[in-house]
Amino acid sequence: MGKAKRALLTGITGQDGSYLSELLLKKGYEVHGVIRRSSTFGTDRIEHLYRDPHESGTRLFLHYGDLTDGNNAAALLQEIQPDEIYNLGAQSHVGVSFINPVYTVEVDALGVLHLLEAIRHCGRPVKFYQASSSEMYGKVVETPQTEKTPFHPRSPYGCAKVYGFWQTVNYREAYGLFACNGILFNHESPRRGETFVSRKITRAATRIKLGLQKKLYLGNLDARRDWGFAGDYVEAMWLMLQQKKPGDYVIATGQTHSVRELLDEAFGLLKLDWKKHVEQDDRYLRPAEVDLLLGDASHARKTLKWKPKVTFKKLVKMMVEADLKLAEQEKILHQAGHRVHKTEYE
């Protein structure tokens, strides 16, 4: 048996990091993840994958680090000697990027450069995946969006991702790095962060159903997104790094839905009328909005032989079912006198 491939993931504690770790471990990889030190543990999404490294069989290893620290990137490459790097780490909330633009750029733009520089100087071939985003299309100049559609970002997040995208292309062209951009459209799951609109809706709808919450406050209900399932999308990331040549790929379902339609679907599954529970709150509006995203993943379908398996309806159902279970557990805690309410920020 050959030596196991070694992957290094930034953002391993996030939604995509957890699904990609599962996929790579299943494929026999040794997986190394970068985690940030925080006052509480943030490893919930990967707990089920992590065991004591001294026990036999574990192939998941965690290392402290931060994308804002270039020395850390170089040291991790030296220590781990990975074959593949997946850069999933980011301040990934578009709304928050308007509030913390400089920090967002330091992590989401300069963080990419730190990794690319570390690869360039490490003296061995390392394949690189950059988590680029459909937010780069912003105020779209054509629909559907393809790899050739020009960018017009509408947020500090979108601008930072454009920088990361071009540095990835530039290091490929200038230094011959095997570096790929996945231009991923919105992808969700039961592990999605609770302040993104899909999960905010499925969490609230299920809590409302069980009497744990009365109202849901949202911003722009007219925005349209191409929503897919995160589990499908991490497969595309891996496939990009298995090709003969590096490249950039749009990953999307080719269907677009409004926030309103998402509300119809989620509340409808619970036989609730969202209009009785949802209120508009200007705090959730953004200074500039991305009105419509719709991706054309023909290049990925043809070259990677990738296609999404989970439809919009199936995705919402999966999230509602998972959040209903969570709400049932919360109800038990609530009845036992525990406080279960969470503050909404974004």
What residues make contact with ligand NAP under the rule CB under 6 A?
Answer: 10-17, 34, 36, 42, 66-68, 88-92, 107, 131, 133, 184, 186-187, 193
Q: At its nearest, how many Å lie between ligand F7E and the CB of residue 133?
A: 3
Structure tokens at 156: 């500090």
Q: Which of 20, 259, 263, 315 binds ligand F7E (CB under 6 A)?
A: 259
DSSP state of 288: S
User: Is 197 one of the binding residues for ligand F7E (CB under 6 A)?
Assistant: yes
CA distance 309 to 233: 10
Q: Binding mask 220-239 vs ligand F7E (x if CB under 6 A, - otherwise)?
A: x--x-x--------------
Amino acid (one-letter) located at 236:
A
If the CB atoms of residues 6 and 257 are measured against ligand F7E, the closer one turns out to be: 257
Residue 107 contact partner, candidates ligand F7E, ligand NAP, none, CB within 5 to 8 A by sort of partner: ligand NAP
By CB atoms closer than 10 A (0-12, 13-18, 19+), residue 124 is exposed
CA distance 246 to 169: 10
User: Is 346 one of the binding residues for ligand F7E (CB under 6 A)?
Assistant: yes
What distances in angstroms separate CA 19 from CA 23, 158, 194, 272, 291, one per listed residue? 6, 23, 17, 31, 28
Q: At its nearest, how many Å lie between ligand NAP and the CB of residue 246?
A: 18
DSSP state of 136: G
Chain position carrying tokens 């733009």: 109
Residues with catalytic function: 133, 135, 157
Q: Which of 18, 130, 186, 253 binds ligand F7E (CB under 6 A)?
A: 186
CA distance 135 to 126: 27
Pick from 70, 185, 86: which is nearest to 122 by CA? Answer: 70
If the CB atoms of residues 121 and 313 are measured against ligand F7E, the closer one turns out to be: 313
Binding site for ligand F7E (CB under 6 A): 92, 94-95, 133-135, 185-186, 195-198, 200, 218-220, 223, 225, 259, 284, 286, 289-290, 346
